[in-house]
Amino acid sequence: MIIYQGPSQLDANREIICVVTDNSSNIKTGSELLQTWILDTNVPPIQNNREGTDRGICGDCRHRGIASPEKKQGFAQFRSCYVNLLFSPNNIYKCFKRGKYKYLNNNETRNLGKNRLVRVGSYGDGAAVPIQVWRNFLAESLGHTGYTHQLINSKLQINKQFTGFADFCMISADSIEQAQIAWSHGWRTFRVITDIQEIEYSKEVLCPASKEYSEITGKQKRTCDKCLLCKGSANTKAKSIAIVAHGSGKKHFQQKTTIIAKG
């Protein structure tokens, strides 16, 4: 189902869609979450990433990698995103181009989310889609997970346009400095780290869906649809979440110190 098609909130020059799918086979997130895929309407996901035109999908997320338009195939250089574009995003884009998905109006979107669990941004940053679309979709849901890179940039500046997303999305922090700013505003963060020694235990807990959690605690990993700790800041006093780099792009992940530009 398509719950949004229109200009990206991250790059108004790019048209995007948000497609909802069900019955996920993702072993980390579980099968109960409705998945939401944010895609460019005109450029296939891998090409979009390789050429660096995926800002309308992911904003300035560092995990996009370095655009490599001179390449004929493959991803952007040093792409560290955990989402493998070869699979779901690529297949969903092809189905969209073949006209396989139904467009939903506001009432149908609200009903689709009713009594269901939702993952905001299975691929793509939720902030690319207008916030009212998400608020409508989540209004009668049983719970959700969500993430956004858009609230605090690499210069440690807050983008006020997207502060409403902190209610239902985790703030994806690329450094401890970004995380500390988020915490000072009462926002919960999701931080990718290189080693569990980097966890700030006064503010963070290790992701219960990670293999490191299972190794340390001896407990079975929890899937995201059973955990739901990554539900943003509204109506919860839970700690923020940290996870060791994982997924298809983990080899390219490097923890970097945020540099504050002067002048």
Report whether 158 contacts 173 (CB < 8 A): no
What is the rounded CA–CA span in Å between residue 24 and residue 31?
A: 5
Enumerate the domain spans of the chain: 2-42+98-252
Give, as one character, the DSSP assignment of residue 103: B
**Contacts of range 229-232, beta carbons closer than 8 Å, 24 or more positions apart:** 229/205, 230/145, 230/146, 230/147, 230/170, 230/190, 231/143, 231/144, 231/145, 231/146, 231/168, 231/170, 232/146, 232/165, 232/166, 232/167, 232/168, 232/169, 232/170, 232/188
Q: Let me know if 13 is exposed, middle or buried by CB neighbors in 10 A (0-12, 13-18, 19+).
A: exposed
Segment 155-188, tens digit of pLDDT? 999 999 999 999 999 999 999 999 999 999 999 9
pLDDT number for residue 256: 37
Place of tokens 């108004």: 12
What SS3 class is residue 143?
strand
Q: Which residues of the chain have pLDDT under 50?
A: 255-263
